[in-house]
Amino acid sequence: MLVIAAHPAETAQLPPEADVVLTGIGMSRAAAVTARAVLERAPSPAERRGLRVVNLGSCGGLRPGLLGVCEPSEILNRDVDADLMRAMGSDPDDLIRLSELGQTGDGSVLATGDSLVAGGPVRDALAERAHLVDMEGFAVATACRELGVSLRVAKHVSDDADSQALEWLERVQISARELAAWYRAHHHELVSGAPADAASNPPEDEA
């Protein structure tokens, strides 16, 4: 089992024996570092079938009432103008259904992009498409899908993706504690590769 996270503060309370790789902030680094870490541990396709990646991190909540740890069912690339690209005749790869990678999820949609969402029209528009927002999830999922590795995604809602997002350094300590508790509670099924149950914090409405 390989744990992928963006920032050391997010995994600060995991057990010391956990195999943790930190990607840094943003999609490009997350995709590259995840792929490298997977290939270092499982160079062949046969070996990769026995590896499970767990992506832990904090996220912003876009809908009222979202608290605690969420396990999304879908991840979208919020930096892609998919409608425009389809109008031009392209078929953008902007959505990953995590069921393809072994995660049932709680019905929520996670939107990933390289910019920090801290309120305003961007947040309002994004809330119509997704429940959660982060900066690495889609990239980690893309790397796992391309390499044929199963993936479990667990994100703790640290803020409301509004003015609270600017207080991330203070709020991430809570996320670290809650993510460590989730990791301990699910450790057996993560190691065994048992099917992921839906998380305990499903969205109140569908995206």
What pLDDT, in 10s, does the model give residues 148-188?
999 999 999 998 888 776 677 788 999 999 999 999 999 98
The pLDDT tens digits for 27-37 are 999 999 999 99
> Which CATH number do you get for residue 11?
3.40.50.1580
Question: What are 62-99's pLDDT values in tens digits?
Answer: 998 899 999 999 999 998 776 666 666 666 678 999 99
Domain membership of residue 30 as a residue range: 2-192
In a domain, 207, yes or no: no
- Residue pair 131/71 in contact (Cβ under 8 Å)? The answer is no
pLDDT for res 71: 98
pLDDT band at 136 (very low <50, low <70, confident <90, very high): very high
Residue 31 inside a domain? The answer is yes
Q: Please report whether residue 64 resides in a domain.
A: yes
Q: What is the count of structural domains for the chain?
A: 1
DSSP state of 142: H
| 8 A C-beta contact, residue 109 and residue 76 | yes
pLDDT at 161: 81
Tokens of 10: 């997010």
pLDDT at residue 202 tops 60: no
Task: State residue 207's pLDDT score.
Answer: 38
Mean pLDDT, rounded, for 121-134? 93
Residue 203 lies in a domain: no
Q: Are 158 and 59 spatial neighbours (Cβ–Cβ below 8 Å)?
A: yes
Q: What percent of the chain stands above pLDDT 90? A: 70
